[in-house]
Amino acid sequence: MSELLESVSPSDPDDIVGRFPVSDASGVAAAVARAREAFPAWRDAGPAARAAVLERFARLCADRADELTLLIAREVGKARWDAAAEAGLLAPKVAVTLGEGMQLVAPQQPAAGQRATWRPRGVLAVHGPFNFPAHLPNGHIVPALATGNTVVFKPSEIAPTVGAWMAERWREAGLPDGVLGVVQGGPGTGRALAEADVDGILFTGSYATGRALRAATLDAPGKLLALELGGSNAMIVCADADLDLAVAETALSVAATTGQRCTCARRLFVERGAIDAFQEKLVRVLSGLRIGAPLEEGVFMGPLASLGAHGRFEAMRARAAEAGGERVLQVDPGLAPPWVGPGLVRFPSLAQTHPYQREEMFGPEAALYAWDDLDAAIAAANDSEYGLAASVMTRDRAKYERCVDRVRTGLLNWNKATVGASGRLPFGGSGKSGNDRPAGVTATLYCTAPQAHLESEAGFDPATLPPGMPPP
């Protein structure tokens, strides 16, 4: 009998959300072979036929969003409001892809006899994360299918049931057999899929796993890697900012999804004249966040997604004093692991040398720093191996514009949380945050390869031959 993957709700150890056979290397290879066989017909079906399937999938997801909300909350511990927001993102991704996304890969004809087209790559592997188990893999799968690729999808081992739910909606939408395959399992299944005969790997998750995927593909330089990785994100708060707005957006950035978003704020750089008032208000807001069972009414955040995640987070959180910080907040949720409460640590200078200050932490914890000069704040925000998201809080647009192009992140928001993003914009980062293949609306670009054409209907003209070349 094959090994079983069992999904247990982090908020209720007696709630078995689902059980799935684990795909070993042979099972992965079989799924890839089915996708390879299905590819020519799906490619040749044409954009209109593919769009019809995608639109049916979108309607099914919209009609059953409440069902998906409950499943996400059960399986990964998201609060109901948070899970509902994620469930509501699947259908709009189809609309954006079939609109602006496909326009990016529409044929171009810059001059007579010159044309560019974008062709599907073939079979693409999608590795899904646990923090957005529906939205983030959907952000890869939809553009991959729309552009004519076939897909083998490995959901996170923490959220296999959400992945299976999505696959079932694709089947109901009329997606032909083999066009989307699902393989369930942990790191072994992921390695097998990375090493399989696929044409590209689309991954959202941690830097460590992204690095492992790159290592697994060193001998296959032609295999596309589109990596959306972690973050150690910054908020720059100026003394002229709307203080209540800055605190509210910061609290959301720190604690949304129990701090388990790659865009969550970890480093808060506040102008010295405002830092004490900012800290007092932020401590009050973070202390008042309601923590509890995800499906309870009025709960802001549930538990971390697993006991393993809890252990890693608490181990790093415990090193704050070792890093030289003064803890000003650590909320006790009054619940057993994997529940946690938000925390805040203040540092005496802008220096960031300790792993506590530099590594990604997947949980509701942030470090607070004071600055006297905006350029020093920009330099501190850039003092990171990550480069995903940042926000600038100020009433003065000129100060924000000074940060544009100087803060080295893929996302830079003004008077908005770091966790805010639009599906109509690119999404991604550089450094340990990704390899500059942003998703969002531009995902159709990495799902395709450009092909250039020089074209002519004219017959042979000997006058076009270069000197010294005889005619045929």
3-state secondary structure the chain: CCCEEEEECCCCCCCEEEEEECCCHHHHHHHHHHHHHHHHHHHHHCHHHHHHHHHHHHHHHHHCHHHHHHHHHHHHCCCHHHHHHHHCCHHHHHHHHHHHHHHHCCCEEEECCEEEEEEECCEEEEECCCCCCCHHHHHHHHHHHHCCCEEEEECCCCCHHHHHHHHHHHHHCCCCCCCEEECCCCHHHHHHHHHCCCCEEEEECCHHHHHHHHHHCCCCCCCEEEEECCCCEEEEECCCCCHHHHHHHHHHHHHHHHHCCCCCEEEEEEEHHHHHHHHHHHHHHHHHCCECCCCCCCCCECCCCCHHHHHHHHHHHCCCCCCCCEEEEECCCCCCCCCCCCEEEECCCCCCCCHHHHCCCCCCEEEEEEECCHHHHHHHHHCCCEECEEEEECCCHHHHHHHCCCCCCCEEEECCCCCCCCCCCEECCEECCECCCCEECCHHHHCEEEEEEECCCCCCCHHHCCCCCCCC
In the predicted structure, residue 216 carries a pLDDT above the cut 90 = no
Q: What is the average pLDDT across 165-189?
A: 97
In the predicted structure, residue 349 carries a pLDDT above the cut 50 = yes
Q: Both tokens of residue 208?
A: 């460590």
Q: What is the pLDDT of residues 54-72, one digit of tens each?
A: 999 999 999 999 999 999 9
Q: Identify the band that residue 1 occupies on the pLDDT scale cut at 50, 70 and 90.
A: very low
What percentage of the chain has pLDDT greater than the value 90? 96
Q: What is the average pLDDT across 276-287?
A: 98
Q: What is the average pLDDT across 117-145?
A: 97
Q: Would the pTM of this model clear 0.85, i.e. be above it?
A: yes
Q: Supply the pLDDT for residue 218.
A: 87
In the predicted structure, residue 320 carries a pLDDT above the cut 50 = yes
Q: What is the average pLDDT across 167-192?
A: 97
Catalytic residue numbers? 228, 262
Domains of the chain: 4-228+442-454 (3.40.605.10), 233-414 (3.40.309.10)
Q: What is the average pLDDT across 353-361?
A: 96
Pairwise CA distance, residues 384 & 367, whole Å: 14
Q: Specify the range with the lowest mean pLDDT, choosing from 132-136, 211-215, 273-277.
A: 211-215
Q: Supply the pLDDT for residue 74.
A: 97
